[in-house]
Structure formats: C-alpha cells, structure tokens
Amino acid sequence: MLERGQVANSWRRERWDSFRLLTPNWQSRLPGHRYDGPDPDGYMTMAEVTAFIEGFAARSGAPVRTGADVTSVRRAGDGYQVTTGGGEFRCRTVVIASGACNVPVVPPFAGAVPASVEQLTPFGYRGPAQLPDGGVLVVGASATGVQLAAELRRSGRPVTLSVGEHVRLPRTYRGRDVLWWMDASGVWDQRYDEIDDLTRARRLPSPQLIGTAERTTLDLNALTAMGVELVGRLAAVRDGRALFSGGLRNVFSLADLKMERLLDTFDAWAREHGRDDEAGPPERFAPTRAPERARLQLDLRGGEIRTIVWATGFRPDYGWLDVPVVDEKGRLRHEGGVVDSPGLYALGLPVLRRRRSTFIHGIESDAREVIDHLAGVALAGRPDA
C-alpha cells in the first residue's frame, strides 16, 4: 500500500481546524475496527479521525509505505509499472484508492477577481483568524460552504453565501440522526446498476449537514437567522463585479421538494417495518425562505468583500495515471470499480457500487466485491490477472 504522506494524510493536512465528520461516530466502522468511545452519537474531530484510521492501519497490519508519492502508473507487459519518489514497482494489478477530493474546483473566472480580494479554498482555510477583516463571499452551499459560512459569521464578519444546487437535510428526523434513517431504510444500499442517471448521482453535492454536540440543523434558514446574506449562483466576474444568477426561489423549492420526498421514503419504511412506535411522529420543515430581493451583482472593488472562499467542490487528480482510462471531464472510466484497463481497479469514488461508497462505513462492501472480481480473474488464470 503506497501513501504519499503519513497514514490518514488528507485528514491531517487538508481540513480546517474545526472540522468534524458529518457521520455519527457509531457509523465509523471498518473491518474488525469500529468506534468504541463514550459518545456514539457524536461526530469525530479531525484529530479523532486521524487516530481512528491510524488504529485501523495498526490493527490490520497493512503493509503501508508512507512518503511514497506515486508519480506514474503505466502499462508494462501484462501488468503495470508504478513509479514513486522512492523507487519503482512492477505488478499485475493496481487498485486506485486515491479518492475523489484531491483538487479543489475553482471556476476559471476566479482570475478576474480584483487583486485586492484574497481568495482561498477549503484546502487552504484553517479558521477565521487567518482572513483579513471585512466581508467574506462564500461560493457554494453544500456541506463545506454552509459550515464555513456559519463559522465566519460567528467570528463577526459579514458573510454573503452564493447558493446553487444543493441537498437540504435536517440533522435529526423523528428523534434520530438523519443518517440513521438513510442507513436503516436502505437508501444508502441502492446499487450503481439500479440508478437511472448514474452520472448525476455521482455528481450530487454533499448534503447541508454539520456535526455538533447539539446535533443542530444547519440549513439556509439557519444561516439567514444568523445574518448570512443569500445570493444566487455565481455566474461570472466581469469588470470587478460578481454576477449572480436569479431564480433563488426555484432553487430553494427544488431542494425542499427533494427533502420532502426523502422524508416520505423514511416514513413509508417505518410503517412497512413496524418501526413507527420507536420513533417520534413524522415531521415536516418550513420551506427555505428566499430573500425579498436577492442581489444580482456585487462590486468586488468597493471593499465590502475582502475574501472569497471557493467552496465549489473537488475533483480527483489523475495526472500521474499514464493509462488512457480518464474521460474528457477528468473522470475515471469504470464499471462498479472495475476500470477500463485489465488489472486496474478503483475504490472510494462516489456511488462506486452503492450510494454509501464514499463514507468510511461504506467502503467494506465495495472493497469485498471489487477484490472478489480481482481474485476471480486471477483464479481463472487469464493474462489480465
């Protein structure tokens, strides 16, 4: 196993200081290793996640080579040649488990932002103290965007949040964590070959959730109550002005509708499985409140905004993969983790085999099926083993 840094490197170096998992502690489980602390309904801090993964590496005895930055993987005969900063390897099979969040996505028009406005991504953000005084424009309203908008607003800064497509969820539903419902009702078990629009499913933004001791809901209504200003999707930066799309009410209505449908799914599951008495009564939540008049542009030269945080998502980095298996949009071509090159596999990508694929507790079943395929090819004695 080759790791570019230390074990759990991305958790150590690519998260902000107040970061916590979105999944409750009881969902943190790996083969033979699970959370066993005093707060199963809490949410791990960055340091706790690091320790958890280190513990799994030690318990499993995995042969991890740290500081082994892979610079190239290429075909070599009936296998692959893997080049690292510390040497080369020849192998018949390679499993790519480098994840989907290697590089922050920043729109090209970020280059038109005036030099007086500082720009950073979640990879470079650690906390409010590192930012200059003054207003902050957070672009992106998925989990990262809403968390950073709330933290920056609590620091006393004026915050404007640019909102596009998003997934709204309550932190708890009928007395249980909403992710308990996702788990118990089987929503997360839906397989990739059962999904009508798999490409869209794999690109869905992360839900608006935050892990706190109070298990609070952090949706757009909560941010509005804190004093965060909501604007539409940032469409362009032109002549020093940020231009936002209209139609916020439609964006909000769509997210609200999808949440209601999901809650209906939970209620139906509880009725069908005789679980209604174990949970509180069905709940419904107030629609997302749209501002009376959302601004359509913002002058970035006037000093109102001193910082832009681009919480606009992430993408994988396959610059080291010298095998023609990446499409024009930078996505790995694979079928349930079996990559379009003999002996090449992947793990840890969105909806790899199930909707739970990118969560810590979702990797085990994916890994077993991918490795079963790998082993089956080897046992068949085919040249692509």
pLDDT digits (tens, 9 = 90+) for 284-293: 999 999 999 9
Q: Which pLDDT score, from 0 to 100, does residue 385 have?
A: 41
pLDDT surpassing 90 at residue 86: no
In the numeric block, the tokens 């590192």 are attached to: 130
- Residue 372 is predicted with a pLDDT of 94
Contact in structure between 310 and 121 (CB atoms under 8 Å) = yes
For the question of whether the overall pTM of this predicted structure is more than 0.85, the answer is: yes
Model pLDDT, residue 183: 95
Contact between 339 and 345 (Cβ < 8 Å): yes
Q: What local confidence, expressed as pLDDT, does residue 22 receive?
A: 95
49 and 21 Cβ atoms separated by less than 8 Å: yes
Opening angle at CA 274, ends 272 and 280, nearest 5: 105
Task: Report the chain's mean pLDDT, rounded to a whole number.
Answer: 95
**How much is the pLDDT for 384?**
46
pLDDT tens for each residue of 145-194: 999 999 999 999 999 999 999 999 999 999 999 999 999 999 999 999 99
305-310: strand order across its sheet: 118-120, 305-310, 135-139, 159-162, 229-231
CB atoms within 10 A of CB 113: 19
Q: What is the pLDDT of residue 121?
A: 97
Work out the percent of the chain whose per-residue pLDDT is above 70.
98
Radius of gyration of the chain (CA): 22
b/e code 354-369 from CB counts within 10 Å (16+ = b)? bbbbbbbbbbeebbeb
pLDDT band of residue 381 (cuts 50, 70, 90) is low
On the question of pLDDT at 279 being above 90, the answer is yes
- pLDDT (average), residues 17-29: 95
Q: 385 or 23: which carries more pLDDT confidence? A: 23
Whether pLDDT at 383 is above 60: no
